[in-house]
Amino acid sequence: MVEDEGAGVSRVLTLGEALIDFVPVQTGLKLMDVTGFNKAPGGAPANVSVGLCRLGVQSGFIGKLGDDAFGYYLYKVLSENGVGLEGVSYTGAAKTSLAFITLTESGERDFLFYRDPGADMLLEEKDINPALIRKAEVLHFGALSLIGESSCSATKKAIELARLYGLKISFDPNLRLALWASPGSAGEAIDGVLDNVDLQGRAILYQRPGKC
């Protein structure tokens, strides 16, 4: 991709999934027993961008949305919250990812994803704009973008550019084992990026030996 010198500036760039969370109107029920849901914008990296903007930190989002009503809705929400969207693109090859979430009586969350694939998984290396990354200070991404060959390659391209341009790199393991082929594949993918990470969260079900 040719660098766009006119690209906007964001102190923090987040990369990964923006999706729709469907949250039940009742709590403490199994998913099959819920009678209604409320639509909510979701996706951990997108949420981080919104949170940072609300705290007064310039933030931009890199990701791919479905060319559908949910994709347009997410773009609108991100824009209304001041998130830089130069790194966002659309695809007609897959729909915007959906996640149905239940809250058990104990308060634990249970997820059912419609993401096989989702639009966010079709992010490509050519979608990564070096100019956006070069002007930033921090790159933040999560483990879900490591699922799928296309988005994984794009994520690693962004990490490579972030290292080249001297950004700090933040990583959220955000482990959702139901989305991985196996726990081993999740561990291998996460382990493969940790050496390039300056700040990382803790994955409850996966911990690299010698790392916190």
Q: What confidence tens digit (pLDDT) does each residue in 137-184 have?
A: 999 999 999 999 999 999 999 999 999 999 999 999 888 877 877 888
| CATH no., domain 12-198 | 3.40.1190.20
Q: By the 8 A CB rule, do 24 and 39 touch?
A: no
Q: List the domain boundaries for the chain.
A: 12-198
Q: What confidence tens digit (pLDDT) does each residue in 85-118 have?
A: 999 999 999 999 999 988 777 777 778 999 989 9
Helix/strand/coil percent split, the chain, to 5: 35, 25, 40
Could you identify the residue written with the tokens 């903007």?
A: 53
DSSP 95: P
Spatial CB neighbours of 11, under 8 Å, sequence gap ≥ 6: 57, 58, 59, 136, 137, 138
Greater confidence (1 vs 26) lies with 26
Q: What confidence tens digit (pLDDT) does each residue in 45-73 have?
A: 999 999 999 999 999 999 999 999 999 99
Q: By the 8 A CB rule, do 127 and 103 touch?
A: no
How much is the pTM? 0.87
